[in-house]
Amino acid sequence: MFEVFSFGSSGWGDEMLMGALMTVLVSASSLLLGILIGIIFAACKLSNIFILKIVANTYTTIIRGIPELLVIYLLFFGGSGAVMYIAKIFGYDGYIELNAFTIGTIAVGAISGAYSTEVIRGAVNSVHKGQFEAGKTLGLNGYGLYGRVIFPQVARIALPGIGNVWQITLKDTALISVTGLVEIMRQSRIAAGSTHEPFIFYTAAIILYLVITRLSNILFDKAENTYSKGFVSKEAL
Amino acid sequence: MRFELMYESFFKIIEGIPLTLQVVSISTVLGLALAIIVALMRISGKKSMSIPAYYFVYLIRGTPLLLQLYFVYYGLGQFSFIRESILWPILKEPYWCGIITLTISTGAYSSEIIRGGILSVSKNFIEASGALGLNKIKTFLLITLPITVRQALPAYGNELILMVKASSLISIITLMEITGIARTIISKTYAPVEIFLVAGSIYLIINFIIVLAVGLAERKLGTVKAN
């Protein structure tokens, strides 16, 4: 039964592990893109400029109200066209095709960015006003204030939320298998099709996802402990 | 922008709304029943009940819905004993596979919401109702349940929206609901932006109605002071 998972050209073991690696890679790059988008749109939501607030609210409402699959179809079918359109403005007339990894990262990154926006906005809001005032009193501004005083506190508060976003992102990457990127989902479909053993390969895929979830939970718990050094938990008080 | 195409495709895409709503409502009702059972198992205090419930929720929340859908639709059909069983007329239909998968998924997610709602009911209420001479079943039905419903409602509203979004996945197993029709039109006309706007707006309107309805229900039920 398990010979289908042997390594090398006769089995699917190494292919499945490569698929798992691809899932982790595309999830990680989507999460990073999402956090970047989250920082920008959280700043928009927290700003006093009306139009920026509207843009950020529209973005998060649309992403949270529309199926992920539709967003992926939009970028899969329309992504290359949009890039070529922008390239034309800059005078480049050739044909550009985005690969599945890039499209997947942009699509899932845009989805996870909406969730990151809310997490980061909440975290910035929960930093005490006195911290900003104290920083300014000390003569800090720009990087000194936001990079050295505010960011470490935001990161600590946002970390559990980002952990949740990571879980959502990880599961959303399964959807980009429809665009042809060979990650766990796609690989198990290919293997199930060619061996006529769908049950065993989808079970293997379930186990791979659970292992990745478990390992990343451990990592996030460690990071939370590191960032929370010097803080007494509420239960201890 | 090809507005004429948007106009034409709008009338094609709305034909998928009944299927989306049908699948969502059937699996929401079945899933709610499953969720109540799982939540009661989790808080029963008996290890033989709470441990299976915990792992069920862990398994469903830790894996992508698409994988669960493939597992039910393609994976189970591999075995001849399933193909020969009385369940096969149901399990061979993509429609029922979609409903089964969505039911299991929302059952797991909602059980956590219901569990949180039940646990948020203050012990004082339970003690007071005991002091008034109500038995366990009456306490649950008259005291715990109404407060749980009120507490869980906002989170359950989110779950309903997630269900509408999740129902788009059944288009991958050949069901022609909103996303399925939209995808077909995109690959025929190659106008992804226009079709995305049309299909996306329909989903936004459905979800907006859910938000309004849940908000109305919340106001109707009033607020509960947890302590």
Q: Tell me, letter by letter, the H, E, C secondary structure of chain A.
A: CHHHHCCCCCCCHHHHHHHHHHHHHHHHHHHHHHHHHHHHHHHHHHCCCHHHHHHHHHHHHHHHHCCHHHHHHHHHHHHHHHHHHHHHHCCCCCCCCCCHHHHHHHHHHHHHHHHHHHHHHHHHHCCCHHHHHHHHHCCCCCHHHHHHHHHHHHHHHHHHHHHHHHHHHHHHHHHHHHHCCCCHHHHHHHHHHHHCCHHHHHHHHHHHHHHHHHHHHHHHHHHHHHHCCCCCCHHHC
Per DSSP, the residues of B55-105 read HHHHHHHTS-HHHHHHIIIIIGGG-HHHHTSTTHHHHT-HHHHHHHHHHHH
ipTM (interface predicted TM): 0.87
Judged against a pLDDT cut of 70, whether residue A17 lies above it is answered with: yes
- Nearest partner of B98 among B35, B166, B33, judged by Cα: B166
Structure tokens at A41: 């749109």
Is the pLDDT at A237 greater than 70? The verdict is no
Of A59, A202, A210, A212, which to mutate for an interface test with B (greatest number of B Cβ within 10 Å)?
A: A202
Indicate if the pLDDT at residue A69 is higher than 90.
yes
Helix (H) or strand (E) holding B127: helix B123-131
Q: What residues contact residue A188 under an 8 Å CB cut-off, 6+ apart?
A: A16, A19, A201, A202, A204, A205, B67, B70
Tell me if B12 is assigned to some domain: no
Tell me, what's the pLDDT at A1?
64
Provide the residue range defining the domain that includes B136: 19-175
- For residue A15, count other CB atoms closer than 10 A to its CB: 16
> Cα separation of A60 and A165, whole Å?
14
> What whole-number distance in Å separates Cα of residue A172 and Cα of residue A96?
26
Find the mean pLDDT for residues A73-98. Answer: 84
Are B167 and B20 in contact by the 8 Å Cβ rule? The answer is: yes
Residue B68 within a domain: yes
Asked if B60 contacts B105 with a C-beta cutoff of 8 angstroms, the reply is: yes
| CATH, residue B135 | 1.10.3720.10
How far are the Cα atoms of A16, A65, B209 from residue A19, in angstroms, in the given order?
A: 5, 30, 40
Residue-level pLDDT, tens digit, chain B, 227 residues: 788 999 999 999 999 999 999 999 999 999 999 999 999 999 988 999 999 999 999 999 999 999 999 999 999 888 888 888 888 888 889 999 999 999 999 999 999 999 999 998 888 998 999 999 999 889 988 988 888 988 899 999 999 999 999 999 999 998 999 999 999 999 899 889 999 999 999 999 999 999 999 999 988 887 655 44
- CB contacts of A84 in chain B (<8 Å) are none
Residues of A in contact with B168 (CB under 8 A): 67-70
The beta-carbon neighbor of A66 closest among B70, B71, B204 is B204
B140-150: string of b/e by CB count within 10 Å (b at 16+)?
A: beebbeebbeb
Whether A182 contacts A22, CB under 8 Å: yes
Between CA A49 and CA A57 the distance in angstroms is 13
Q: Is residue B27 part of a domain?
A: yes
Tens digits of per-residue pLDDT, A107-116?
999 999 999 9
Please state the domain count of chain B. Answer: 1
Residue ranges of B 160-189 with Cβ closer than 8 A to chain A = 161, 164-169, 171-172, 179, 182-183, 186-187
Domain boundaries along the sequence of chain A:
16-230
Whether the pLDDT of residue A86 is over 90: the answer is: no
High-pLDDT (> 70) share of chain A, %: 97
pLDDT at B227: 46
B100: in domain: yes
Is residue B185 assigned to a domain? no
Rounded Cα–Cα distance for residues B126 and B227 (Å): 12
Mean confidence (pLDDT) of chain A: 89
Compute the average pLDDT of residues A197-203. 92
The closest alpha carbon to B14, from B210, B190, B201, belongs to: B201
Residue B193 touches partner A, C-beta closer than 8 Å? yes
Residue A53: is it exposed, middle or buried by C-beta count within 10 angstroms (0-12/13-18/19+)?
middle
What would the mean pLDDT of A15-22 be, rounded to a whole number?
A: 93
> Position of tokens 């044909």?
A95
Assign A24 a pLDDT band (cuts: 50, 70, 90).
Answer: very high
Report the residue of chain A nearest B163, measured CA to CA: A67
Supply the pTM of this predicted model: 0.89
Please, are residues A69 and B182 in contact by the beta-carbon 8 Å criterion?
no
User: Does residue A188 contact residue A204 with C-beta atoms inside 8 Å?
Assistant: yes
- Band of pLDDT at residue A232, cut at 50, 70 and 90: low
Query: Is residue B62 a part of any domain in this protein?
Result: yes
**Of A232, A211, A221, A236, nearest in space to A159 by CA:** A221
3-state helix, strand, coil in chain B (%, to 5): 85, 0, 15
For chain B, the C-alpha Rg in angstroms (whole number) is: 21
Residue B11 included in any domain: no
Gap between the Cα atoms of A35 and A31, Å rounded: 6
pLDDT beyond 70 at A233: no
At B129 the three-state DSSP class reads: helix
Torsional sign, CA A226, A227, A231, A236: negative
Shortest CB distance from B71 goes to which of A62, A69, A202? A202
- pLDDT(A230) > 80: no
* Side-chain-facing half-sphere of B137: CA atoms under 13 Å: 0
What span, in angstroms and rounded, lies between the C-alpha atoms of A91 and A93?
6
Which CATH code for domain A16-230?
1.10.3720.10
pLDDT of residue A47 exceeding 80, the answer is: yes
Chain B contact probe: residue of A73, A98, A106, A173 with most B CBs at under 10 A? A73
